[in-house]
Chain A
Amino acid sequence: MAELLVFSERDDLAFELLSKGKEFSSALNMKLSAVLLGEKIDANAKANEYFAFGADRVYAGENPALADFNAESFAEALYQIGQQNDVKILLLPSTKRGKELGPRVAQKLGAGCVTDATAVEVKDGDLVVSRYSLGGNTVAVEMLKTPHKVITVMPKTFELGVKESKQGEVVKVNLNLKSPRTQIVERQEKVGEKVNLEDAEVIVCIGRGLEKKEDLGIIGQLSKALGAEIGCTKSLCTDYQWLSEDRLVGLSGKKTGPRLVISVGISGQIQYTVGIRDARITVAINKDNQAPIFALSDYGIVGNLYDVVPLLTEKLKSL
């Protein structure tokens, strides 16, 4: 029986993929499987959760080459499991690791691959995948013509399903892998507070309208009054480094879905607006009434942010 295989280096994202993968595999009449890779895996303990989220089968691949993530060995492992079985579709998370892994496995399989999928659905017995294109200006809806398909899906695209009591089989696989040609010498954890823009209900985003780093204070006060998380555009975190990259909203950063987002001093380049497209209500504060951000806003204030933001903060605090 043809199979849809899920792999993620993070279990939580594997569960998201399985939750939706269940729908796909039943519509396409496939078995739903998942794979655990590592040097040593406690497969029986872990597999139960994978079954609970819908996997019919869990492959356990142990090999010294899989001790730490490296795209080359992990791609080869997934390829070998795919070949030993009848894997037609491989679903991966669009994390950085998933995204460097997907195309490499696809190349081995002669498969088409879509990365950063924002939606996947079954249509006429095949998967139809959406992703941003042309720098976020458009959404390309596409199908892969190859017999094998690899899709990396943006985290949070699929809702986490409800766990069910379900049995499945654990299948140990023999992998023939060479030792990795890249060595991880050191990992430096990124410092800084934990930012969770993806789950934030209210976000205040700041852009180049802010003149200096010290002025972030007024943005902090506004976000505090709103109970909001702070996000920013690329220039503020990458170019000026006033804020950490975890706060980057947009095409090369986070995609958000809050109930309210207030864009302050942001002109509205597509690279940013992609990240707030799913917000329920969008507000813009900008001194240029011609700024493109107003075209994407429910409510707008034309004015200097240095005047508007403190007044707004004060008003919100008085509520």
Chain B
Amino acid sequence: MNILVCLKQIPDLVYIRVKDRKPILEGAPLIFGEMDRNALEEAVRIKEKVEGTKVIAVAMGGAKLKEGIKAVLAIGADEAMLLTDPLFANSDTAGTAKALAKAIEKIGGYDLILCGEGSTDNYSGQVGPRLAELLNLPQITYVRKLEINGNKVRAVRNMEESFEIVEAEMPVLVTVANEINQPRLALLKDILKAGRKPVKELKAADLGLSGEEVGVKGSVREILSNLAPEQARKHVVFEGDLKDVVENLVNALTKEGVLGR
């Protein structure tokens, strides 16, 4: 069977700084989203169990994606399709889903599409359901456990009040939760060997998409502002003998009127 894994590069949040309430993204390296890596790991685990499984990574990202995809191949993807056209840059979720759907239609012959349930930066969770709709597939979201039985999948979904066990015939689109697995790290020797695996780059034109349909121009939303919220805190730190410190804190909290029921 053929599994497609969708991945997208996002800025590594650890490197984001905030200055005058403005986020500074320069210098933040691009990495794959956390749950995208869970999706990849899950695909590779299925491949290890189900003979004849092929894993194809469909990845969107910047100019360095060609380098970054090697880790994905080293972990176990057999092939990769890269969406690196600058026209795709800053696509919103609708544009991302559109480009992925076109690429996936081009690849064809898939049984299972795996995505993260959301990206680590915005958690909007839109790409999976939008992609399922574009490809006319059933969707199973928030999956924490996945089994393949013949042409069927059985998934455990993590909902608010319950775990829901769902079955569907393939092809199906599944979005995975963070707890589904612990992604392995790529080994250096495998990264070196990964260069031999087939990697294809697709431009917007190859997918029949114009610059009006994806990227900033194709965006369905207009960002009015994107600033760190204002935080006015008192920043009183008590130091010294712990007994006094605790007493000072309790006095301060009493004055604030936040103690008592």
User: Which residues does A use to contact B, with CB under 8 Å?
Assistant: 70-72, 75, 95-97, 99-104, 106-108, 111-116, 128, 131-135, 137-146, 180-190, 201-202, 226-227, 238, 245, 251-252, 259-260, 270, 277, 280-283, 289, 294-303, 307-308, 311-312, 315-316, 319
Residues 222-261 of B at the A interface (beta carbon under 8 Å):
222-229, 231, 233-239, 242-243, 245-247, 249-250, 252-254, 256, 258-259, 261
Q: Is A107's CB under 8 angstroms from B97's CB?
A: yes
Taken together as a complex, chains A and B put the C-alpha atoms of A128 and B175 apart, in Å, by: 29
A-contacting 9-mer, from B39-47, B71-79, B157-165: B157-165
Please give, as numbers and ranges, the residues of chain B lying within 8 Å of A307 by CB-CB distance.
242
0/1 per residue, B164-182, Cβ < 8 Å to A?
Answer: 1111110010000011000
Known: A72-B138, A114-B221, A140-B225. A301 touches B236 (CB 8 A): no
Q: Is A283's CB under 8 angstroms from B253's CB?
A: yes
Name which of B25, B97, B139, B219 has the most chain A CB atoms within 10 A of its CB.
Answer: B139
Q: Is A311's CB under 8 angstroms from B242's CB?
A: yes
A-contacting 9-mer, from B48-56, B59-67, B127-135, B199-207: B127-135
| 6 interchain residue pairs of minimum CB distance | A112-B220, A181-B138, A103-B126, A107-B133, A260-B258, A103-B129
Please give, as numbers and ranges, the residues of chain A lying within 8 Å of B161 by CB-CB distance.
189-190
Taken together as a complex, chains A and B put the C-alpha atoms of A151 and B233 apart, in Å, by: 31
Taken together as a complex, chains A and B put the C-alpha atoms of A271 and B92 apart, in Å, by: 22
Taken together as a complex, chains A and B put the C-alpha atoms of A196 and B85 apart, in Å, by: 46
**Of the residues A143, A226, A312, contact of B246 by C-beta under 8 Å:** A312
Question: How far does the Cβ of A46 sit from chain B's closest Cβ, in whole Å?
Answer: 21
Q: Does B23 contact A (CB under 8 A)?
A: yes
Q: Is A107's CB under 8 angstroms from B130's CB?
A: yes
Q: Is A312's CB under 8 angstroms from B250's CB?
A: yes
**Of the residues B126, B164, B172, B236, contact of A298 by C-beta under 8 Å:** B236
Q: Does B18 contact A (CB under 8 A)?
A: yes
Question: How far does the Cβ of B19 sit from chain A's closest Cβ, in whole Å?
Answer: 11
Known: A103-B129, A260-B258, A299-B236. A96 touches B141 (CB 8 A): yes
Q: Does B121 contact A (CB under 8 A)?
A: yes
Taken together as a complex, chains A and B put the C-alpha atoms of A141 and B172 apart, in Å, by: 34
Name 21 A/B residue pairs within 8 A (Cβ), A-sorted: A72-B139, A103-B93, A103-B126, A107-B97, A134-B25, A134-B226, A137-B16, A138-B18, A140-B226, A141-B226, A144-B220, A144-B221, A145-B222, A182-B138, A183-B166, A259-B258, A260-B253, A283-B249, A298-B235, A302-B239, A303-B242
Q: A100-B142, A135-B121 are in contact. List 10 more A-B contacts (CB 8 A).
A: A112-B92, A133-B226, A139-B226, A143-B224, A145-B222, A146-B220, A182-B166, A238-B178, A300-B238, A315-B246
0/1 per residue, B126-155, Cβ < 8 Å to A?
Answer: 111110111000111110000000000010
Taken together as a complex, chains A and B put the C-alpha atoms of A238 and B181 apart, in Å, by: 11
Q: Is A112's CB under 8 angstroms from B258's CB?
A: no
Taken together as a complex, chains A and B put the C-alpha atoms of A112 and B226 apart, in Å, by: 18
Question: How far does the Cβ of B234 sit from chain A's closest Cβ, in whole Å?
Answer: 4
Known: A114-B221, A141-B223, A143-B224. A96 touches B142 (CB 8 A): yes
Q: Is A312's CB under 8 angstroms from B249's CB?
A: yes
Q: Is A115's CB under 8 angstroms from B125's CB?
A: yes
Please give, as numbers and ranges, the residues of chain A lying within 8 Å of B245 by CB-CB distance.
301, 303, 308
Please give, as numbers and ranges, the residues of chain B lying within 8 Å of A294 by CB-CB distance.
235, 237
Question: How far does the Cβ of B243 sit from chain A's closest Cβ, in whole Å?
Answer: 6
Q: Does B94 contact A (CB under 8 A)?
A: yes
Name which residue of chain B comes closest to A252, CB basis: B123
**Of the residues A144, A185, A311, contact of B165 by C-beta under 8 Å:** A185
**Of the residues B166, B220, B233, contact of A297 by C-beta under 8 Å:** B233
Taken together as a complex, chains A and B put the C-alpha atoms of A310 and B124 apart, in Å, by: 41
Please give, as numbers and ranges, the residues of chain A lying within 8 Å of B123 by CB-CB distance.
116, 132, 251-252
Q: Is A145's CB under 8 angstroms from B221's CB?
A: yes
Known: A113-B93, A187-B164, A270-B13. A139 touches B227 (CB 8 A): yes
Question: How far does the Cβ of B157 sit from chain A's closest Cβ, in whole Å?
Answer: 8
Taken together as a complex, chains A and B put the C-alpha atoms of A112 and B223 apart, in Å, by: 12
Known: A71-B141, A134-B122, A189-B161. A260 touches B220 (CB 8 A): no
Q: Is B163's CB under 8 angstroms from A188's CB?
A: yes
Please give, as numbers and ranges, the residues of chain B lying within 8 Å of A316 by CB-CB distance.
250, 259
